[in-house]
Amino acid sequence: MKSKTTEEHKKHSAIKIKCGIITLSDSKSKNQDIGKKEDLSGQYLINELEKKYEINNYSLIPDDKKELLNSINNMKNDVDVIFTTGGTGLGSRDITVETIQSIFEKELTGFGEIFRMETYKELGTTAILSRATAGIYDKTLIFALPGSPNAVKLGLSIVINELGHLVKHLKE
């Protein structure tokens, strides 16, 4: 069911949206040249987002809290939306979720809920392992996606057509 209010809001949504991508991977970041070629999830985000939006920044970093915060802070003034991929698992080096949740001014809990619901439909109870999340930091939307290409495809499919609407509200 479509809402007249939502459809009206979408008509007045931001048209030019600038995106940044941060891939977190200890192994890929060690050799940047090879790592960029092997970063299938980051490359997928670039390829799909640039069909509709502008890509202003891309970083490939190790799973490190300080590097993630530095990358976000270096990017946030040049982009409307940041997508991270990787570092959302249960391992001791998986620091993305805790790091970005600590800076969120508001969390978009609906994104993680929908992501897990769609994952459950596809994979069953394995969905409980997903820690995908999203939120707002300093007028920038941040989406934390798992590192697997299939998870990135799912996450992007949930939000790609809503980015204009989200950015419009973010700028109010």
**Residue 105's CATH number:** 3.40.980.10
CA-based end-to-end distance of the chain: 26
Position 135 pLDDT exceeds 80:
yes
Residue 83 corresponds to which tokens in the numbers above? Answer: 């997508």
- Higher confidence at residue 14 or residue 24? 24
In a domain, 5, yes or no: no
Q: Six-digit token pair at 50? A: 């640039």
Domain containing 102 equals: 15-171
Average confidence score pLDDT of the chain = 90
Query: Residue 32 has what pLDDT?
Result: 59
Q: Is residue 3 part of a domain?
A: no
- The residues near 107 (Cβ < 8 Å, ≥ 6 apart) are 101, 133, 134, 135, 136
pLDDT at 72 over 90: yes
pLDDT band at 58 (very low <50, low <70, confident <90, very high): very high
Question: CB under 8 Å to 31, separation ≥6 — which residues?
Answer: none
**Weakest mean pLDDT among 6-20, 68-82, 103-117, 144-158:** 6-20
Which residue type occupies 142?
Answer: I
Coil/strand/helix, residue 128: helix
Number of domains comprising the chain: 1
Does residue 4 lie within any of the structural domains?
no
Distance of CA 101 to the CA centre of its chain: 13
Q: Report helix, strand or coil for 103.
A: coil
C-alpha dihedral sign at 148, 151, 157, 162:
negative
Q: What is the mean pLDDT of residues 21-28?
A: 88
Would 6 be classed as within a structural domain? Answer: no
